[in-house]
Structure 1
Amino acid sequence: MVKPFIRNHQYNLIKKQVGLLQNACNTVSDPKVVESVRYSAQSKIIEAFPDTTELQKQTLEQIAALRTPGEFQNYLHSLEPYMAPFSELTGKQLNKLFPKIKKLKAPDLTAIDYRYVTYVGWVDIATNRLFLVYHLNGQFVGIEGRYTPTNKGVCFLCNRHEDVALFTAVSKSKPANASPDYYKAIGNYLCVNSDVCNKNITDVTALERFVQEVAGYHES
């Protein structure tokens, strides 16, 4: 049996490619164009899984045989048992991640379907703070920063045009010769609604770079 190996952002990428292929099958009359889209979709999906086993690869490559709306839907449904969920969080863990916040207003952790989560994020409107938790290198990392609402914009994590806020966090990274009062803030436009962002995100490169820079982690 194939063990869970598909993370949320990878599942979103698969859904995106399936949607493009299904649209081509429904609207394009030239078989060569459809096959080109099919090849592109399959290639991008396989590229998103550089460390797959042969059995996992065979599971993903079933997209090559899809033709009808029912087959596309069944393919996506068949992948759900292979989704690797985000590690479940507890209120105690959140308090450890944000020890300086005395009255942390956390989300309802029991209501989260962790299969469809790349990061856990929420806003405390009363304090204009935005919180983000990501699982990096085997451990939870908590980031908190100032939340400044804006209008529509492109989220730096999911690259979609959504309701965004300017999320500004103070970096813990310091140059070796930095003075004691060294200060560096990092700001990015981020989806106000993390549920929307988690449904859109197809790549974690920007997220991991941001978390590493703010948290003061350095890749070995």
Structure 2
Amino acid sequence: MNTPFIRNHQYNLIKKQVGQLQHACNNGADPKVIEAVELSVQSKILDAFPGIHEHQKEVVEKVIHLRKTEDFQHYLQSLEPYLKEFTPVSGKQINKLFPKNKKLKTPDLNGVDYRRMSYLGWVDIATNKLFLVYHLNGQLVGVQGRFTPANKGICFLCNGIGDVALFSAITKSKPANASPDYYKAIGNYLCVNSHLCNQRITDVSTLEKFLSAVLY
């Protein structure tokens, strides 16, 4: 039985590394250069799986010695049974995360491929707010913030260049002697298209750090 263990961001990282090795092979690089790229790819992939089991290591290490385009494609396809899905959420669960938003418009969850999702994000145009839902430390959490469209830029989550917006969320924590009117907002540029962002994100540590700063 193939037990899923590869999360979306890890799969994206693998695809990115495979692409680099394939590029070196397709462009007729010197065998020693290809070998160096191969070792780098292997190292970066394994670093993305701390505490990996031996069987899991054997699965991802099959990237070694691939040289032809069809071999790379077959390798990526062979990983699909091991993709670990983002634990599905319901509209009811989402509403519980944002109890003050009585007219919250939840996203359409029909047909969502949770295997290709690191976080759930959507924009409510009516309120000009952006919402993020994520499983942090085993708990489902949600953050909302002001959504201000900007020009093309770099997303702080996936580091991709594209259409971004300034996402500003107010933190829940306050200094001990803070006045009743005190608030602190944390802002970052985020992809407008969360689906595209989920296709590119290769590391969730920045996302988890942001959520922790806002929630705790």
Q: Which TM bucket (shorter chain)?
A: over 0.9
Deviation digits for residues 4-60 of structure 1, max 9, x if unmatched? 110000000000000000010000331101111111001100000011100000111
With normalisation by structure 2, the TM-score equals 0.97
Counterpart Cα distance in 1 of 2:82 and 2:127? 39
Matched, 1:62 2:62: yes
| Equivalent residue runs for 1:137-176 within 5 Å | 137-176=137-176
The Cα shift of 1:2 comes to: 4.0
| Equivalent residue runs for 1:4-153 within 5 Å | 4-153=4-153
Pick which of 104-113 and 88-97 moved more.
Answer: 104-113
Deviation digits for residues 149-181 of structure 1, max 9, x if unmatched? 001000000011110000000001223443333
Counterpart Cα distance in 2 of 1:29 and 1:207? 36
Structure 2 spans left out of the alignment, 5+ residues: none
What corresponds to 1:209 in structure 2? 209
Letter in 2 for 1:16: K
Q: Secondary structure at the match of 1:146?
A: strand
Letter in 1 for 2:210: F
Deviation digits for residues 132-161 of structure 1, max 9, x if unmatched? 101111111110010000010000000111
Could you say if the C-alpha distance between residues 96 and 142 of structure 1 is closer, same or farther in structure 2, counting changes exceeding 3 Å? same
Deviation digits for residues 59-99 of structure 1, max 9, x if unmatched? 11100021111110011011011111001010100110111
Q: Secondary structure at the match of 1:110?
A: coil
Letter in 1 for 2:147: Y
Counterpart Cα distance in 1 of 2:178 and 2:82? 46
Contact 1:2 1:55 in 2 (8 A): no
Identity %: 66
Letter in 2 for 1:55: H
Contact 1:2 1:56 in 2 (8 A): no
Q: Secondary structure at the match of 1:169?
A: strand
Structure 1 spans left out of the alignment, 5+ residues: none
Counterpart Cα distance in 1 of 2:79 and 2:181? 50
Counterpart Cα distance in 1 of 2:200 and 2:112? 17
How many correspondences in the alignment? 216
The Cα shift of 1:3 comes to: 1.3
Counterpart Cα distance in 2 of 1:190 and 1:51? 30
Counterpart Cα distance in 2 of 1:5 and 1:118? 13
With normalisation by structure 1, the TM-score equals 0.95
Counterpart Cα distance in 1 of 2:17 and 2:189? 26
